[in-house]
Amino acid sequence: RGGSAMVPIVVSALEVTRDRIWRLGDPPRERSSDAGEPAGTAGVPILQVLRGAGLSDVVAVVVRWYGGTKLGKGGLARAYAGATRDALPLLPVALRVPTERLALRVPYEKVGAVKRLVHPPEVELEGEEYGAEARLVLAVHEGRVAALRDALADLGIDCSSKEVFS
């Protein structure tokens, strides 16, 4: 049969190689490759779809099997972009919220009061250790840090430490 088959594949960011298209970080750093196709016909169209979807921390790979029909540069670009666009609804998407980790040393009598300040997902208890005193690690959404620091100060808890306990 003639034509080409375009197969979208999603891979881990840890597996990035020179032939994959990626968009990582905030602000995003990007890389694309045409991987042997004519310049501008594979990597750039894929990257444009990722940008247009507002995605970051993503890797896209489109594999093409040649079936005898020449698509031309425009056809190749549309095929690569289309395969990427078709794969987007299949992606699990997670909202990334900037967080700050607060490592707290808490007297035992105040542990309950501190735990009452934990309200997922804005404030989450990430870890706790008990020894001479309790040590709690809270993950706090960026917009809630000031209010939580004030509430902890009202309890007499110092949260200036950036130390994260093991």
Compute the mean pLDDT over every residue in the chain, rounded to the nearest whole number: 82
Q: Is the pLDDT of residue 26 over 90?
A: no
Share of the chain above pLDDT 90, in %: 47
Q: How confident is the model at residue 59 (pLDDT cuts 50, 70, 90)?
A: confident
Q: Is the pLDDT of residue 67 over 80?
A: no
d(CA 119, CA 140): 9
d(CA 21, CA 8): 12
Q: Where are the beta strands (DSSP E) in the chain?
A: 4-10, 21-24, 29-31, 58-66, 99-106, 123-130, 134-141
pLDDT tens digits along 102-146: 999 999 999 999 999 999 999 999 999 999 999 999 999 989 999
pLDDT tens digits along 78-112: 999 999 999 999 988 887 788 899 999 999 999 99
The answer to whether 9 touches 52, Cβ cutoff 8 Å, is: no
The answer to whether 141 touches 122, Cβ cutoff 8 Å, is: yes
d(CA 149, CA 157): 9
CA nearest neighbour of 106 among 138, 137, 148, 134: 134
Q: Is the pLDDT of residue 18 over 50?
A: no
* Res 161: pLDDT: 56
The answer to whether 143 touches 149, Cβ cutoff 8 Å, is: no
Count of alpha carbons within 13 angstroms of residue 59, beta-carbon side = 13
All domains of the chain, ordered by start, with CATH?
4-90 (3.30.230.30), 99-154 (3.30.70)
d(CA 88, CA 93): 9
